[in-house]
Structure 1
């Protein structure tokens, strides 16, 4: 079951991939050219140009009415329409019927007056599933407010504080909502950002100058907001305050998931491993509706496991997922977000960096329109229904994917590594050759498509081009263990005539996947279809210089970072052996699985 495309194709992006050069800042690995700006269409319900979402955002909090019964094992309250934006359920403010409220295991539906009742235990997150056509309030940093964590005694002693004591069960726990026609409209743009992963204040500033400045300039996602899917910081949980300042730049609500670098590492059990995250950013798993989408955000980190962590949900969360999905009406598309992906290409043979219960999750979602998005791998992946790899079958018994699996890449890219750019952040090219950026899910009713926006770009740059030659492969072999210390590879866009039979043009189409095509026109000739290096038909990973992205590797070996020696979205075209000496031009047109075209050009030279 794959997702359908029901939107007009965007205009082709023309010009050279050294539109990607500004992104990659490579030596001369790509050629200069023009780029056509993708139009920033504004759907109903989004912030219009000239207005500021922050100026009129619905700010507030969950209403907690303190109680004094220390033996209470139930919590009740009302989900209500907050007409005066006071966060208080005032006389005359009506309850909202048919809304799901959960304690992280049970799911109940509000009655005709918006009332609910739930069992309550120590450590529970109690949260409302934002219904279609409403928004939950946000705080001063735009972080969505829709949950209460019940921790009567507070967290055990933790380095970063954890949760303060909440005392006895509340007498009432009320969830305010505001009507929002934009959140009801079937056309939505939802931003998904992976791995902000700042380790210090300098890296916070890199994120500010990069993806968050990009998002501050965009006005298309105000109804759906932005979901950051884990590794919000890099082990130092004191940096949550700084990341919250970044979310204050957004033009829409911000929601977060915990990653393996968001943990209280001094916690002795999974029960308290994300207490500081919950205190700062919200519940560890939850769901919300917008348009005709049902978004499910899951905590896929099991900790502690020996000396580390593992990708798993645990039985309690899995049971909540069953009950949550059971309440989703037919005709709603489901977006399932995790930090550790259900399955991915980068770690396709790992039982740690993929999710243990993937088969059970597939069973729960059977027959639904689904797309899942993960982070964690610091790579961009667009895996389609029917894709298969040896590692998935051997490790989890999954022969092929039942629906689209995206890996969003990282806002931090390759951990903010590489050459520093004048824009105020490093190149940070990822392990697949992709650049830092964010994914936007475009919903047209229950139908979803995806697009990638590279950091510092308008969305038109979707690939990087280069040459893989014998000289490049020799250089790679000589320096593959010298990342950050290798000498620059000279003349990356030159190939001797005698090497033409062993040289090829490469196109790293960052959001390419099964169903995408890449065609190359040499010197204005008829387009020729390039070959994808990783077919995703049950084979293992293809790794090494021959399967690498030379444009990315030439940056990484010289300036540091991971090495892009494998990718599921790399295409190659063998250069004709009869090419004459001189300068040649290659026009590359990449067409994604939805039929959208992107065109870039590169010039290279054949020398005697």
Structure 2
């Protein structure tokens, strides 16, 4: 990378150490400034200004600072490019955000937290209704000029980006969980070639007052923070979709925008329509949008954004990689039969991107799903009108896992295995030219830990069926009274790593939950020095429906989800709200007997689970299986699991029969 200026990776060196003065600790981002807003223009019909090379690095356009030609500028609807002198002009309308698309080889300034400053909101009278988190303050008359500063940094073809789905803290306690698990793990990564952090929506858990603290925490990574607007980031008290992101815009910035790095153009959409209306009616739960008694959201890209997206693409060379960033997935495995949780106008978006290199990143489902080109699931055609995918669609997992549910792990943060069996974590995405490579990172785990191994035994299936049936009755609001005490707990689960001939005769599968596995992943198992045997993906992603239940569950994560001891935490002198635990807008879980997760949160289905039936002729004794996962780009990851073959299952508890005479 050739440059005479400090670029983001170099700035990390300064950011790695917090500078403590009389004020709060902060990271040194090297180029901190605002945009240059000049004068007032009453009744203006055109917004105009200059994109300029900020040689003085103060954000204010000086006479000797030249304009930058060929840069995209937008009002959120129309898109234009700057002339040779850096000037632009666009039509004016109320409630618009004027922004610049940061070009490759240039950097826009950031604020002290690393939030890029490339936009100006125009809403003269402010949000027209009172919102609990403030909405957008009145901006007054349009400025005479909105000038966008940037500095030349030099081109780069290869870079990394940290990406993640739903961090979704509902409280300051849960912000601490993000800090202690995900952020600490990110800071252990080699970020020397990283250029960005991308949060794929549900950055917050309904409480936007937590957002400033959150942005301050992630500033320690020393990377620009690009956030996507999600369905837990909007103003729940907004009465129209047009103003449902106003508090977000005031605190963070635009709810949709674009920027370039290297040979990639990143396009961040807001595909959460709230409240949705009759125009969103359709299958898969969208009928709630047409019900005047319901106030819900739907996954759709609005007409204004679609016009804007077309303008961005019209001004983007067709060989550049298009990186779509959005919260609600375009499509998903876990919600393949649910319309509201996928994107209505995906077929039109696919058509707009036809022939271009592209990849989609989203969050929302609290699962990690690498849906490769060519894959499809049965519900997609009915729900959003597509079948086989033309390019990869990645749902990026969640630092919150299954909403911070579960007992505390080694680092004192909730285990929170997600619905597909993925642990809390994030992605490291490598961009080489217009080729992306996606790697998953489990929070608090070594970078090379990419799978979880277990055995699906008859004993596991019986245990799972027993407790899941009880869980579903407990969760059914219309069910008759159900015992508060679960029929079994994880203590009743027979040791799945100890098998008998009877177990094997009843079918035992070795399972490998390869968290980043997809259509092109090959998985093999080797017992001792025996031959390498292929494992089969439980979901072929060839148009079939989701397979769920005991046979398809992940026996590694499920036991951790089905007995949660935190329910029973009580104290005699503690805070009343510290009894049991809280999630989701203060909803309390306990104090009660240890319970399972809610039935819909359990990993009884997964698009990245491989299995192999265990041989019936294994000799008695102790064995080791090594499992290797090979990704399409040649990366290999290996893990192992030890198990026993015994003629019969031994007594599991303390055996005092030989001690009875002595005690007497």
The TM-score, its normalising length taken from structure 1, stands at 0.90
Per-residue CA deviations over 1:466-512 (Å, capped at 9, x if unaligned) read 00000000000111155696511242312221121310100000010
1:19 maps to: none
Q: CA deviation at 1:217?
A: 3.7
Equivalent residue in structure 1 for 2:147, among 157, 168, 174: 174
Equivalent residue in structure 2 for 1:259, among 230, 233, 244: 230
Partners of 2:264 and 2:321 within 8 A in 1: yes
Partners of 2:133 and 2:235 within 8 A in 1: yes
Aligned with 1:528: secondary structure? strand
Partners of 1:523 and 1:585 within 8 A in 2: yes
Unpaired runs of at least 5, structure 1: 1-43
Equivalent residue in structure 2 for 1:291, among 258, 262, 272: 262
Q: Matched residues in 2 for 1:456 and 1:60: separation?
A: 35
Per-residue CA deviations over 1:23-68 (Å, capped at 9, x if unaligned) read xxxxxxxxxxxxxxxxxxxxx9734985547434311112222304
Equivalent residue in structure 2 for 1:386, among 374, 381, 403: 374
Q: Matched residues in 1 for 2:520 and 2:157: separation?
A: 26
Q: Matched residues in 1 for 2:510 and 2:190: separation?
A: 37
Q: Matched residues in 2 for 1:62 and 1:147: separation?
A: 8
| CA gap 1:100/1:133 in 2 versus in 1, 3 angstroms | same
1:437 maps to: 425
Equivalent residue in structure 2 for 1:62, among 35, 38, 41: 35
2:557 maps to: 552
Aligned with 2:556: secondary structure? helix
Q: CA deviation at 1:279?
A: 0.7
The answer to whether structure 1 residue 491 and structure 2 residue 495 are counterparts is yes
2:466 maps to: 478
Equivalent residue in structure 1 for 2:110, among 138, 145, 161: 138
Q: Matched residues in 2 for 1:223 and 1:586: separation?
A: 36
Aligned with 1:174: secondary structure? strand
Equivalent residue in structure 2 for 1:161, among 134, 137, 140: 134
Answer 1 or 2: higher relative contact order, Cα 8 Å, separation at least 6: 1
Q: CA deviation at 1:220?
A: 2.3
Q: Matched residues in 2 for 1:430 and 1:58: separation?
A: 38
Partners of 1:222 and 1:253 within 8 A in 2: no
Per-residue CA deviations over 1:400-445 (Å, capped at 9, x if unaligned) read 1111010001111111111112413111110000011111221111
2:361 maps to: 373
Q: Matched residues in 2 for 1:431 and 1:285: separation?
A: 28
RMSD over aligned Cα, in angstroms?
1.6
Q: Matched residues in 1 for 2:14 and 2:243: separation?
A: 42
Q: CA deviation at 1:558?
A: 1.1
1:517 maps to: 522
Equivalent residue in structure 1 for 2:618, among 557, 579, 582: 579
The answer to whether structure 1 residue 463 and structure 2 residue 451 are counterparts is yes
Equivalent residue in structure 1 for 2:641, among 585, 602, 608: 602
Q: CA deviation at 1:324?
A: 0.5
Q: Matched residues in 2 for 1:145 and 1:458: separation?
A: 35
Q: Matched residues in 2 for 1:523 and 1:335: separation?
A: 43
1:240 maps to: 211
2:313 maps to: 325
| CA gap 1:98/1:254 in 2 versus in 1, 3 angstroms | same
The TM-score, its normalising length taken from structure 2, stands at 0.82
Partners of 2:234 and 2:245 within 8 A in 1: yes
| CA gap 1:316/1:201 in 2 versus in 1, 3 angstroms | same
Q: Which moved more, 1:398-407 or 1:418-427?
A: 418-427
Aligned with 1:577: secondary structure? coil
Q: Matched residues in 2 for 1:138 and 1:49: separation?
A: 14
Partners of 1:130 and 1:288 within 8 A in 2: yes
Q: Which moved more, 1:365-374 or 1:74-83?
A: 74-83
Correspondence 1:339-358 to 2 at 5 A: 339-358=327-346
Equivalent residue in structure 2 for 1:336, among 321, 324, 346: 324
1:14 maps to: none
| CA gap 1:62/1:505 in 2 versus in 1, 3 angstroms | same
Q: Matched residues in 2 for 1:112 and 1:73: separation?
A: 23
| CA gap 1:438/1:238 in 2 versus in 1, 3 angstroms | same
The answer to whether structure 1 residue 270 and structure 2 residue 241 are counterparts is yes
Q: CA deviation at 1:335?
A: 0.6
Q: CA deviation at 1:606?
A: 1.5
| CA gap 1:222/1:75 in 2 versus in 1, 3 angstroms | farther
Q: CA deviation at 1:320?
A: 0.7
Q: CA deviation at 1:216?
A: 3.1
Equivalent residue in structure 1 for 2:79, among 102, 107, 116: 107
Partners of 1:213 and 1:249 within 8 A in 2: no
1:46 maps to: 9
The answer to whether structure 1 residue 77 and structure 2 residue 49 are counterparts is yes
Per-residue CA deviations over 1:337-375 (Å, capped at 9, x if unaligned) read 110010111101111000001000001000000010110
1:9 maps to: none
Aligned with 1:104: secondary structure? coil
Partners of 1:212 and 1:249 within 8 A in 2: no
1:396 maps to: 384
Equivalent residue in structure 2 for 1:95, among 57, 67, 78: 67
Partners of 1:482 and 1:557 within 8 A in 2: no
Per-residue CA deviations over 1:55-113 (Å, capped at 9, x if unaligned) read 343111122223041x1121111111111211100120111110000011100000111
Paired residues, number: 562
1:212 maps to: 183
1:36 maps to: none
Q: CA deviation at 1:251?
A: 2.2
1:12 maps to: none
Structure whose alpha-carbon radius of gyration is higher: 2
Q: CA deviation at 1:330?
A: 2.8
Q: CA deviation at 1:215?
A: 2.4
